[in-house]
């Protein structure tokens, strides 16, 4: 756009979000999709058109690994939608960065990797600096509604004492994968056992809180999270799951951070079948106080795809390194100054 060359992008991970993202990358005038990969052996070697229903997908062959993708497609930037946990994807991220290629990822922990993986984050940053690549974790949650948006809404406020972000999602309107992820159909005991095993619960709420605190200049003396089942009070049935009263309809997850001078962050996330009044909301106790409401809430998958696509033109404006969504300028237009 505006006469600048299109950015060569390759995509890693062809799950549901990845396939939607690929369509959006193919649609974007300022981007050129030059490759795609998934480690699923049933996908490798196929034409992308067999996996993604888009007229422009025909020219792209699906690679079987990040390494093959980098060699085959020679991208300037890789988008990645393969996992939530940094330690599980670190090797492939590092491979991208070491090739001098920039990276935009939806991995939840990469939103603020210093929280759980300070050493890996530092390594990734140093590798990115050395190789001249830029790395960013983004998405809608984490990445926008419970972190970036509250932070932006604080810009016209002084003396912020408390930030409360609420997100209520009716998962019966979403992918079956998400319905299972929130525990719908389990007993309360099974739910708690899975939470204890780290196999249930939204990843990223603590990252949102940590990012928000850091970018508000707050040092948290405590940061805690609770994950509780929401039990069905009536029978509910979707294409993917059936729930009877008393079984789990979804999850209620709260992250709470406090500073030693009494400031507080409260991130309150409910994702259940049949949730009443789905919405995103932010309340700020500051001067002036502010309350903001997004009726219905941002639609997760479509919005996540958009955050990735819209981040891409902004990354080249940053110095090399590992960045957060709060470090980027707001504008998606690639020119450097106001005019």
The span from the CA of 63 to the CA of 20, in Å, is 18
The span from the CA of 178 to the CA of 324, in Å, is 25
Cα 231–236–237 angle (5° rounding)? 135
Task: Report CA torsion sign: 268, 272, 277, 279.
Answer: positive
Residue 191 sits in the site that holds a second copy (CB under 8 A): no
- Minimum Å distance from CB 87 to a second copy? 18
Residue 330 sits in the site that holds a second copy (CB under 8 A): yes
Q: Residues 16, 45, 132, 156: which binds a second copy (CB under 8 A)?
A: 156
Query: How many residues sit close enough to a second copy to count as binding (CB under 8 A)?
Result: 64
- Minimum Å distance from CB 15 to a second copy? 19
Q: Residues 74, 246, 291, 316: which binds a second copy (CB under 8 A)?
A: 291
- Pair type for strands 290-295 and 102-105: unpaired
Residue 261 makes CB contacts below 8 A (sequence gap 6+) with none
- Minimum Å distance from CB 110 to a second copy? 10
Residue 331 sits in the site that holds a second copy (CB under 8 A): yes
Which is nearer to a second copy, 61 or 161 (by Cβ)? 161
The span from the CA of 37 to the CA of 54, in Å, is 16
Residue 238 sits in the site that holds a second copy (CB under 8 A): no
Residue 121 sits in the site that holds a second copy (CB under 8 A): yes
Residue 1 sits in the site that holds a second copy (CB under 8 A): yes
- Minimum Å distance from CB 54 to a second copy? 14
Q: Residues 87, 122, 221, 233: which binds a second copy (CB under 8 A)?
A: 122
- Pair type for strands 242-243 and 236-237: antiparallel
Residue 17 sits in the site that holds a second copy (CB under 8 A): no
DSSP string, 181-238: HTTTT--HHHHHHHHHTT-SS-TTHHHHHHHHHHHHT--EEEEEEEEEEEE-SS-EE-
Residue numbers 24-83 binding a second copy by CB under 8 A: 24, 27
Which is nearer to a second copy, 41 or 338 (by Cβ)? 338
Instruction: Please count the other Cβ atoms lying within 10 Å of the Cβ belonging to residue 69.
Output: 27
Q: Residues 11, 117, 215, 258: which binds a second copy (CB under 8 A)?
A: 215
- Tokens encoding 148: 């970036």
Q: Which residues bind a second copy (CB under 8 A)?
A: 1-2, 24, 27, 112, 114, 121-122, 125, 140, 144, 148-149, 151-159, 214-217, 286-288, 290-296, 298-299, 302-307, 309-310, 319, 321-333, 336-339
């Amino acid at each position: 756009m505006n006469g600048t060359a299109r950015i060569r992008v390759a995509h890693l991970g062809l799950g549901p979000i990845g396939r939607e993202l690929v369509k959006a990358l193919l649609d974007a005038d300022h981007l050129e999709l030059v490759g795609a990969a998934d480690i699923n052996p049933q996908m490798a070697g196929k034409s992308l058109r067999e996996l993604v229903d888009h007229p422009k997908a025909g020219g792209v062959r699906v690679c079987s690994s990040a390494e093959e993708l980098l060699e085959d497609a020679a991208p300037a930037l890789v988008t990645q939608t393969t996992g939530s946990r940094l330690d599980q994807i670190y090797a492939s991220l590092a491979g991208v960065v070491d090739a001098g290629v920039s990276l935009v990822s939806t991995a939840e922990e990469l939103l603020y990797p210093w929280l759980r993986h300070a050493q890996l984050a530092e390594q990734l940053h140093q590798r990115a600096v050395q190789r001249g690549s830029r790395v960013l974790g983004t998405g809608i949650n984490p990445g926008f509604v419970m972190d970036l948006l509250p932070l932006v809404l604080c810009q016209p406020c002084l003396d912020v004492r408390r930030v409360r972000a609420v997100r209520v999602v009716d998962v019966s309107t979403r992918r079956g994968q998400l319905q299972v992820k929130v525990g719908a159909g389990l007993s309360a005991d099974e739910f708690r056992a899975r939470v204890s095993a780290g196999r249930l619960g939204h990843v990223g709420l603590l990252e949102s809180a940590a990012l928000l605190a850091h970018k508000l200049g707050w040092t948290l003396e405590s940061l805690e999270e609770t994950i509780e089942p929401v039990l069905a009070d009536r029978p509910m049935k979707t294409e993917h799951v059936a729930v009877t009263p008393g079984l789990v309809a979804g999850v209620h997850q709260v992250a709470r951070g406090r500073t030693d001078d009494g400031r507080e962050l409260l991130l309150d996330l409910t994702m259940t079948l049949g949730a009443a009044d789905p919405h995103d909301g932010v309340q700020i106790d500051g001067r002036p106080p502010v309350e903001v409401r997004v009726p219905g809430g941002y639609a997760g998958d479509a919005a996540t795809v958009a955050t990735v696509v819209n981040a891409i033109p902004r990354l080249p404006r940053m110095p090399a390194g590992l960045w957060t969504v709060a470090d980027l300028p707001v504008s998606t237009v690639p020119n450097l100054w106001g005019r």
